[in-house]
Structure 1
Amino acid sequence: MTLEELQETIRSEVGVLLYFSGEHCSVCHALRPKFKEVFDENFPLLKQIYLDAHENLEISAHFQVFSVPTMIVFMDGREFAREGRSVSMHQLTEKLKRPYIMMTE
């Protein structure tokens, strides 16, 4: 995926989850299934995109991702939430619920 394709996806979708990880990042690999489960259950209309930060340097630099894992949620084409290593799934879910409902109803 190119940066231009990703930007078009962000503009055209209701919402997008970008999850930046690294091949040798054990935290990344542990959190990814949890993010997928939470987003599948609570935010099914958000498009989920998983990227290796090291293989996608242009995209990582554009979104100022300097450490992994980093999760960025876009809603209505704008960055709405950004989380790093220590993320509470409960707090994130609560933060996203109301705007998600407003945008999808």
Structure 2
Amino acid sequence: MQTLDTINQTLTTHDAVMLYFSAPTCNVCHALKPKLVEAISTEFPIFEIESIDISETPEIASYFSVFAIPTVLIFFQGREFLRKSRHMSVGEVVEDIRRPYELMLS
């Protein structure tokens, strides 16, 4: 089971991390997640992707000030770069992170 410590360890050991916050009762979350995970994994292979069920670990959601689902947090080198909640498209998220990802790798 995920803990705040394991999430923070992921953030410190990986240069690019996506945290995906959802819950079992969120139909939008379940429709968006596979498409977003596939796009991120394909476009940006070094990303570490963590899915967080806020019903199981509300303390993690609280720590990151996540109060709506789905919420996506993108971190580069341990720092939050992007936060998207509720209404988002896969293409929008991909385009928002493309340039900083490429700059980080260059």
Same fold, judged at TM 0.5 (above): yes
Code of the aligned partner of 2:88: V
- 1:6 is matched with which residue? 7
Structure 1 residues 46-82: Cα deviation after superposition (integer angstroms, max 9, x where no partner): 1000110110111010001111111100001100001
- Does the 8 Å contact 1:38/1:89 carry over to 2? yes
Distance in 2 (CA, whole Å) between partners of 1:10 and 1:29 is: 24
After TM superposition, what 4+ stretches of structure 1 lie above 3 angstroms from structure 2? none
1:88 positional shift: 2.4
* Paired residue total: 105
Distance in 2 (CA, whole Å) between partners of 1:38 and 1:58 is: 28
Distance in 2 (CA, whole Å) between partners of 1:9 and 1:64 is: 18
Task: Give secondary structure in 1 for the equivalent of 2:101.
Answer: helix
Q: What is the TM-score of this pair, normalised by structure 1?
A: 0.94
- 1:85 is matched with which residue? 86
- 2:58 is matched with which residue? 57
- What root-mean-square deviation, in Å, do the aligned CA atoms of Structure 1 and Structure 2 show? 1.0
Structure 2 residue runs of 5 or longer lacking an equivalent are none
1:27 positional shift: 0.4
- Does the 8 Å contact 1:22/1:54 carry over to 2? yes
Asked if 1:72 corresponds to 2:73, the answer is: yes
1:91 positional shift: 2.2
Identical aligned pairs, as a percentage? 39
Code of the aligned partner of 1:46: F
Task: Give secondary structure in 2 for the equivalent of 1:41.
Answer: helix
- Does the 8 Å contact 1:14/1:104 carry over to 2? no
